[in-house]
Amino acid sequence: MQILLKYTYLMNPDKVRSELDNLWRRYQEILNNPTWEDLNEARAILYLTGNLYCEKIALEAIERRLHLIDKKLNIIDFLAIIDSRSNKPSKLRKNNLFQKLEEFYIVIKNYKNKFSRGKYYLDEERFIKLYNKYNPEYNFEIREKGKHGNKKIIKK
């Protein structure tokens, strides 16, 4: 995660992609051959990359640089331009910093939308099933997006 932050501060989308890919591979290795200790590492990877990094750190890194672009943008306008794949703001697309921020955002968005099995992004559904299966605390379970609580007892 430290290396990921380093390349975020340097705004190097290729290195960020590489670091996220490394974390994804480790996460998948754990899900394919889980132990209780490794599942807790996977939980950390899931939280740090899927929640903290993609939802907060990466967006704040973009937002802090927007004032350096020729046209002052807020984060909502920036995301709308990128997500709509609009060619309309051609002046912005010629700006090197805009291009780098766009590439960085697309790397983050592609990572956040990754999944290989299950219905939730980042294979969270698969992780939750494995985590609850290996959890030595019988009465405790986790749910999507880090929610947790006591296991529901089904009465017959």
Q: Domain for residue 148, yes or no?
A: no
Q: Domain for residue 28, yes or no?
A: yes
Query: In this model, does residue 142 exceed pLDDT 70?
Result: no
Q: Domain for residue 47, yes or no?
A: yes
Place of tokens 């002052």: 72
Q: Domain for residue 12, yes or no?
A: yes
Q: State the residue range of the domain holding 82.
A: 2-137
Q: Domain for residue 68, yes or no?
A: yes
DSSP for the chain, please give it: -HHHHHHHHTT-HHHHHHHHHHHHHHHHHHHHS--HHHHHHHHHHIIIIIIIIIIIIHHHHHHTTGGGSSS---HHHHHHHHHTT--S-HHHHT-HHHHHHHHHHHHHHHHHT--SSSSSGGGHHHHHHHHHHH-S-TTEEE-GGG-EEEPPPPP-
* Domain tally, the chain: 1
Residues 6+ apart with CB under 8 A from 69: 92, 95, 97, 98, 101
Q: Domain for residue 14, yes or no?
A: yes
Query: In this model, does residue 113 exceed pLDDT 50?
Result: yes
Residues 6+ apart with CB under 8 A from 14: none
Q: What is the pTM of this model?
A: 0.82
Query: Mean pLDDT throughout 47-62?
Result: 94
pLDDT for the residue numbered 71: 66
Q: Average pLDDT over the chain, rounded to whole?
A: 85
Q: Domain for residue 151, yes or no?
A: no
Q: Domain for residue 147, yes or no?
A: no
